[in-house]
Structure 1
């Protein structure tokens, strides 16, 4: 990526600090012309004021990569310098509007699981004098301001863990625009000049560093679905431009997430230690054998039936290495939250998709008929 401009990032999460922002930093270090990042805090949380100030430090913020790679322990420390500035929608709104309208080339977002919910407080016009309550409402205001300023094309790269995040976000923003202004020219520009990419992100970021920074595992993926006119903000080994995001979603949901939920089921029925970590439960030979048996005799067969056998086999090996990460304090108790719903979405959905015999997984699903 060359030329003037900036990348505007909505969300100060430690995940993006150790994911997209780190990729941009490493691409710049490798000699690519990478646009600087301005991070926008959307929550108005007073406790994150220090984090915003830290983003303006030219020395960067620390990222520590710890875990296993090819069975070997690794630890790398970096100072990420891709982020140049931090702003808040609560106190810098008009500056954000100006930056969005005139200087931004890419939008990156990670606003949490509820980030796409549209608030009842988002009523009114899109004049942008005051920020809307929801992220889709704010984005609609900012896009309208950009349209009024001349309407340069741009790409939105959402990183929320929402199925088909780009199309879902586009639909929410378009609905707001239709309700608030109904300008045919703006709606046509929104549809034709703004790319809402469909993406999948995957990296476990285990803990924050204060005031900014994080500790993360070595594994990382940012899969981005091809679309007409789509240009990436940088090139990086962890960024994959793909024809279809679904295979990546299936691997993550039905191997990594499914494995987590199977471990949570074992943890619950055996009333194991309340503060047990993933790495500890998989080090129990009896538990590991049960998990491996499910992967080998049920999960891999299901993926093979869908033409993804080799991909799944490789991803299982990567997943087990991630589970074994000696530095990752990932509590089974946290994974066990909303357990019945996760059983339905991870195990039940796998059974519906694979259509192969999976008696152990079916028995778990049958325990939660009303999920």
Structure 2
């Protein structure tokens, strides 16, 4: 039986379409010892789906040209925080474990308003379990681990290192020092569009295969993974299966966050305002599609350093084709979740670095304000605070309460009078897209 070499926190569809798929490809060529133990932090839903199937599930890649399905066999088990804490710690402390990876979403890192660790909510995340596992390794004289974030955060490895260090320094400075000396935190850029699997997806798959897969994942054909070359020990040969191991991930991170994710958030808020459900529907809207092009090519791309203009132009063209994919029902409401955690790196970083008037991003902000005010699909850890911020006053006051030096998001971007006026006007226009 293959050993578990990776413990992964946050085993949603995204990780199963990406990390687990790369590991499955590595194991298919003869690499051993790289099974994954998944950890669910919030519910046992994925465990209920996959454990009765011995961790097996199907991955279906869809495009306008057709679809292809394969079985992924790199998952040993799904453990659930609260119920399986002892097993999780044992996996982390096992000599066979070399990598701990994370797709816990932006909010899973439990940052406060200025980017530090919010210790009060961190107790409910992965920090206590990771601390116990690392503590066992230190006490036993074992090697450190590669701790690898795969979430949409700029310099995600450094963010994880800083937040974990803050957690450890409070109660266990000796372990904090050991982690600094023995563990590594490579930054990564992970890119694959993975919609939530629907009941229709499962039913269609069952009719085609003759078997029900409760853990089925549907994704696009495209997949990209850029990883900083900083590992504490062994790892799978991911680069043999398409991953890129580089010295500096930052340019790729910036391109993805500002171009892909920035355009996605624009599509989400503007598309929902216009009554659309899926990304490919919003892309067919002649009011929205040109804004997506402008955001990527004219606003975001010029702020990305370290990648040449030809690469960024080709990347934008590729993104348009991916967004247009009619075979992938990527719900706008899924992208719109957790806006307070996403907007700073997706839009505000571009605005802070841009030269000139960013009409597409400012329109996106107008749509986001409308999205907060309407309350539909508002799924955000700061939902009440967002509503309070825009509950009174004109748009100028609302923007100050959101983005000002003492605002909710405390960004480095300060809108000028012309930008405030433009956002106010665009909010009025976007409101009419829904028939108001």
**What residue is the counterpart of 2:278 in the other structure?**
277
Coordinate RMSD, CA, aligned? 3.2
**1:79 aligns to what SS in structure 2?**
strand
Is 1:29 the counterpart of 2:33? The answer is: no
Distance 1:251-1:307 versus aligned 2 partners, 3 A rule: closer
Provide the rounded CA distance (Å) in 2 between the counterparts of 1:90 and 1:343.
Answer: 32
C-alpha distance in 2 between matches for 1:37 and 1:232:
12
Q: Distance in 2 between matches of 1:135 and 1:214?
A: 24
Task: Describe the superposition over 1:190-222 as per-residue Cα deviations: whole angstroms up to 9, x where unpaired.
Answer: 111111221222211112355323101112222
Q: Greater RCO between the two (CA within 8 Å, min separation 6)?
A: 1
Pairwise CA distance, 1:314: 1.3
After superposition, residues 122-271 of structure 1 pair within 5 angstroms as 133-183=124-174, 186-208=175-197, 211-227=214-230, 229=232, 231-236=234-239, 237-264=241-268, 266-267=270-271
Call closer, same or farther: CA 1:176–1:332 in 2, change over 3 Å: closer
Residue of structure 2 in register with 1:6 after alignment: 5
Partner deviation per Cα, 1:122-156 (whole Å, 9 max, x = no partner): 7xxxxxxxxx5321222112100111122223211
Distance 1:289 1:153 in 2: 49
Q: Give the 3 Å change call, closer, same or farther, for CA 358–54 of structure 1 in structure 2.
A: farther
Greater strand proportion: 1
- 2:68: which partner in 1? 76
Q: Is the 8 A contact 1:204 1:217 kept in 2?
A: yes
Instruction: Give CA-to-partner distance per residue, 1:256-275, whole Å, 9 cap, x none.
Output: 1232344456547xx52x23
The answer to whether the Cα contact below 8 Å between 2:106 and 2:341 also exists between their aligned partners in 1 is no
Q: Deviations over 1:270-300 (max 9, x none)?
A: x52x234221232345643454355555555
Aligned equivalents of 1:366, 1:64: Cα separation in 2: 34
Structure (1 or 2) with the greater helix fraction? 2
SS in 1 for 2:79: strand
Report the secondary structure of 1:215's partner residue. Answer: strand
Query: Structure 2: which 5+ residue stretches go unaligned?
Result: 111-117, 203-212, 367-394, 403-436
Q: TM-score, normalised by structure 1?
A: 0.80
Note if contact 1:18-1:216 (Cα within 8 Å) is conserved in structure 2. Answer: yes
1:53 to 41, 51, 54: 51
- TM value normalised by structure 2: 0.69
Q: Which residue of 2 aligns with 1:107?
A: 100
Shift of the alpha carbon at 1:161? 2.3
- Are the aligned partners of 2:14 and 2:194 in contact in 1 as well (CA < 8 Å)? yes
Gaps of 5+ in 1: 123-131
Query: Matches of 2:121 and 2:338 in 1, distance apart?
Result: 29
- 8 Å CA contact 1:158, 1:199 repeated in 2: yes
Deviations 1:277-328 (A, max 9, x none): 221232345643454355555555555x876311211110110111111112
Q: Residue in 2 aligned with 1:86?
A: 78
Counterpart CA distance in 1 for 2:303 and 2:177 is 43
- Given that residues 17 and 213 in structure 1 are in contact (C-alpha distance below 8 angstroms), is that contact kept between their aligned partners in structure 2? no
Which residue in 2 is equivalent to 1:116?
Answer: 109
**What CA distance in whole angstroms lies between the structure 2 residues aligned with 1:61 and 1:246?**
33
Q: Which residue of 1 aligns with 2:18?
A: 19
Instruction: Report if aligned partners of 1:41, 1:87 keep a CA contact under 8 Å in 2.
Output: yes
- CA distance in 1: counterparts of 2:337 and 2:16, whole angstroms: 26
Secondary structure in structure 1 of the residue aligned to 2:326: coil
